[in-house]
Structure 1
Amino acid sequence: MSIDISARVPRRVVTGMRDGKSVFVSDGAVPNAHLHQSTPGFMTSVCWATPSQLSLPLDRGDPSLRGISIPPAPGETRLMIVRFPPDAVMADPSFDPIAADAEQHQYLPGLAQLFEREAPGMHTTDTVDYDIVLEGEIWLELDDGAEVHLRQGDVAIQCGTRHAWRNKGTVPATMAFILIGATRP
């Protein structure tokens, strides 16, 4: 049996406390996972978010519902899972960059506005990011075209630098991103 990876969204299991005991609070698909229609194979999701002042036990509602700003404020965090289709998807004559941009603005609030029009994919966030390749391979591009090829299991630490993710391969690449909001002097 073949599994269509482009249609799979991450499963999220959340634990908590009830009556002094640990319990499963939820178990299911990430509520804000989005399969981008204008960019086939592109999937984004914010699995969890924390405020700048975190205390336990967590007794508030789901902090990562649709509409949350992707870049966190200083001290806040975001856990994202993103599936990048091969770059060939964006090079296909049927690809509509205007529709893709509109969809990103709707489902990636705060982040879509940071993408540079003159350098597609390039962006800078005020965050320190722990980036882990879960499946596939991807290229991390920095200024002046400098890049590094990352494979499954590799980790990149982004320190507020201008960058883009490029999937030069032929299969989707899935990554986990932990973003920690920071300030610049």
Structure 2
Amino acid sequence: MTTIRTVTGHDSAGASTIISHGPLPGCEEFIHSPGFSAALVWRTPPQARIVDHPGDPAQAESVIPAPGGSSALLVTFPPDDLAGGADFDPLAAAEELCQRLPGLGERFEAEAPGFHRTDTIDYGVVLDGEITLELDDGRTSMLRQGDIVVQMGTRHAWRNRGNTPARLLFVLIGAQRPPRGD
């Protein structure tokens, strides 16, 4: 399925206009993780400003926003039983994740596949399918189409135990993590 991204702005007279309209870059499946895809929809810096002709933030150094900034990601999770076949190369998959999602890929734990944590407050909306959110100590929550999750910088992993892909839209807001004990 092709996802179209439309970006608006203003013309020289201040009237609203379409700046760009076309396929969302980065929606193609990962090579080393068949069925998985993740695209940066948009990213804003801290204290974002409305500009007439916004540039495309797809070439960001990191998809993880700085405190006060935001990122929107569109992610498709294949069913778990399709994700790691006999030919699966975890090192190649990790390298591709780091290349395609800089700043996020490096946060995944090698010793606990899928687990990661970011200094963000995340809003996740299940667009299609169903997926399980896994937290520490095996705690889980099943999310279905239309469900919303708010994550407060928690360590987590996503598990698609179903037989169809799950598609989610995430909005990450950069936050500061207090020292432990606060």
Query: Normalising by the residue count of structure 2, what TM-score does the alignment of the two structures yield?
Result: 0.92
Match for residue 48 of structure 1 among 39, 42, 51 = 42
3-state DSSP class of the match of 1:92? coil
Q: Report Cα offsets for 1:4-32 as digits up to 9, x if no partner.
A: xxxx3421011110022111111111123
Q: Paired residues, what number? A: 177
Please point out which of 6, 11, 23 is paired with 1:29: 23
Unaligned runs of 5+ in 1: 1-7
Q: Distance in 2 between matches of 1:118 and 1:184?
A: 23
**Aligned: 1:156 with 2:149:** yes
Deviation at 1:38, TM superposition (A): 1.0
**Structure 2: unaligned runs, 5 residues or longer:** none
State the partner residue of 1:171: 164
Output the aligned Cα RMSD. Answer: 1.3
Aligned partner of 2:4 in structure 1 is 11
Q: Does 1:115 align with 2:115?
A: no
Find 1:78's aligned residue among 57, 63, 71: 71
The corresponding residue for 2:80 is 87
2-side partners of 1:174 and 1:166: how far apart? 12
Whole-Å separation in 1 of the counterparts to 2:111 and 2:89: 16
Contact 1:89 1:95 in 2 (8 A): no
Identify the residue that residue 3 of structure 1 maps to in structure 2.
none
Specify the alignment match of 1:142 in structure 2: 135
Q: Is the 8 A contact 2:9 2:54 kept in 1?
A: no
Q: Find the aligned partners of 1:173 and 1:51 in 2 and give their Cα distance.
A: 29
Query: Secondary structure of 2:87's match?
Result: coil
SS at match of 1:118: coil
Tell me the distance in 2 between the aligned counterparts of 1:42 and 1:151. 18
